[in-house]
Amino acid sequence: MSVRNEKNAEVQQLTCPLLRDNAEATEGELAATREQFVSNFMVRDLDFDRHPDLAGIREFGTKWARYCVWFYDPKQHIFTKDFLAEEMELLTNLEPFGNGQISSSHIGPETIWRAVYRVMESEQSRPKRQLIPLSSCLVETQPGGGRPTTVVITHYEKGQPVVQRYEGGKMDIKAALGMCNQSRR
């Protein structure tokens, strides 16, 4: 991918290894991934530094996608990768929220989950910027994706996980997902 300035001069060339974990990708799979990379390309502030960053789909399925991520470096005026970008590239269905939060999720059929992280930066930390887990919610369903059987919600308090487990009982999928959305707050 070519990054150009306001005068249309190329200032940087970025690469994204499409289907990098699939050594036997067909030409059709590569063509579909190229199309997704272009049509769903994101220009958003992913690291919450008030500068637009870039993300393009590198692999995908029916209900999931993983991205190549580049952060804008205002000092160098280029896009870069660091540990935080590499962490985000591992997330499924990357979604930035407000308040420095990033979400990763997976939709069934037999398990649905969402994990929420906070982007943390500290001069004393190595790596300097990284994702810190805030919460996760797992909804397990009956085989084939029916009624929820279990909802597991995890919050992190002072770096320690606090796990709450709920039996699905007569709960429907909407109620289970509502519990997950409540856990984000």
Give the C-alpha separation, 116 to 137, whole Å. Answer: 9
pTM: 0.86
Is residue 93 within 8 Å of 64, Cβ to Cβ?
yes
Residue 95 has pLDDT above 80, yes or no: yes
**pLDDT tens column, 150-176:** 999 999 988 899 999 999 888 888 888
Residue scoring higher pLDDT (4 or 46): 46
**pLDDT tens column, 3-40:** 888 899 888 999 999 998 888 889 999 999 999 999 99
**pLDDT tens column, 115-128:** 999 999 888 878 98
Domain locations in the chain? 1-93, 97-185
